[in-house]
Amino acid sequence: MLWRAPLSLVHSAMPYEPNQTNDPSLKSWVESANDASSHFPIQNLPLCAFLHPDEEAVVLGARIGDKLVDMGLLAEAGILTDDHDGHAHHHEHSIFDDVALNHVLGHGPGLMAGMRKQLQEFLVDGPAGGQQARRLRQSALLDVAKCELLPPVAVMNYTDFYASIHHATTVGSMFRPDNPLLPNYKHVPIGYHGRASSIVESGTPIVRPRGQQSPPEGEPGAGPSFGPCKMLDYELEVGAFVGVGNELGKPISIREAHEHLAGLCLVNDWSARDIQKWEYQPLGPFLAKNFATTISPYVVTMDALAPFRCKAFSRGAGDPQPLAYLMDQRDQELGGFDITLEVWLSSAKMREQGAAAMRISRSNAFKDMYWTLAQMLAHHTSNGCNMQAGDLFASGTISGSEPGTRGCLLESTWQGWGPDGKAMPRKPITLPSGETRTFLADGDEVTIRGWCEREGYRTIGFGECVGRIEGAE
């Protein structure tokens, strides 16, 4: 019998509603995927790119359990096709033979949904069939531990937003305690163009940046200095990959925006706070942000995320309603995503002592973004800006309202203003080794994890987004 999504999640006009591919009863012949603790069941199948351990070639794949599926090999065998829009496409080579997922994402939701169904049909529990099918099961799957994961998408353009109202309020209060939000915040999604060339895959070392820092307070006449960043921070974010782009001069409407989103990933948009403090006026982030941005290695598809959509953030009674080009009832009903997010920290000393990493933040505050992903994309293109397949835009730091839910050290160690009107000293985080941190030290390793869970569905995960700080060169 065909599994049907709970009525509370079905909206006939909303794309990516739950369907039979989200059926929690589905099992795979890949036993590790059936483990209840796995974040990569057959209901997930996030897309990735990896280096084949035997052929030393880049392969496009999907994750299931503790295995990676070679999609190029499945395409050769006729398991995966690209005719999901009603007619076959003829190419000199298969899109599954590329070194990044851009063309796959750019074919749009029809191919993504069809490919997901074909992958599930290949991986679902049941007899393999003939000898050729049994051989394909063996050759098309590789141990993830033996493969080097690569950036899943060749990102040509990157935009970072500022969509968490809790983050914006806390950081704004550090500079404007009586009026932390600027007048435009509740009217327009705030963002800036980042640097795509310095987006790196999880596990890439992060070299402490150098830069100009402001003159020391209390020293009249002193000038700025140049040297290694002293206030290095992480930023917990979620990123969205664009699937089908748009032509220059032709905006993506809020009603169509979800059709242009291909999938999500985890993002750590590292930040040099002292450099940023000196340079950000009047044009905003520059060298304090462009030295590195780490992304997780998987594209978790919108189809896999369908059961975990939720109502968008409810604005306060006195808040303005978005302008018409940013307002869509469907997006208000199901434009949010309920994702549990954690940040873990380990120091070099902790690892030497054999101590486990320490969790320093946990929340599901992504569902409380003031602006939805669809609103961000619609605003991004509202002036005619053209998006391309594989472009990445991120949420900005994701923070809740409580200290243990904040998405960066700038907020986590902030204690507010004292009765004398001066900022109180930062409260350091104490690590199991006895060390303290207000900002990151050399040797510190930051790990971001994320997953979606809901009663009646299999849990799906994003993998890890990891970066370790190395000393300035």
Neighbours of 312 (CB within 10 A): 23
Mind telling me the catalytic residues?
167
Q: What whole-number distance in Å separates Cα of residue 97 and Cα of residue 228?
A: 42
Contacts of 178 (CB under 8 A, 6+ apart): none
Contact 374, 254 (CB under 8 A): yes
Identity of residue 46:
P
3-state secondary structure of 193: strand
Token pair 């309202």 is found at: 401
C-alpha 16: how far from chain center: 18
Q: Count of residues for the chain? A: 473
CA distances from 184 to 4, 190, 191, 253, 304 (A): 43, 8, 12, 21, 34
Q: What whole-number distance in Å separates Cα of residue 446 and Cα of residue 168?
A: 22
Contact 413, 398 (CB under 8 A): no
Contact 109, 243 (CB under 8 A): yes
Residue 56 burial (10 A CB sphere; 0-12, 13-18, 19+): exposed
Neighbours of 362 (CB within 10 A): 15
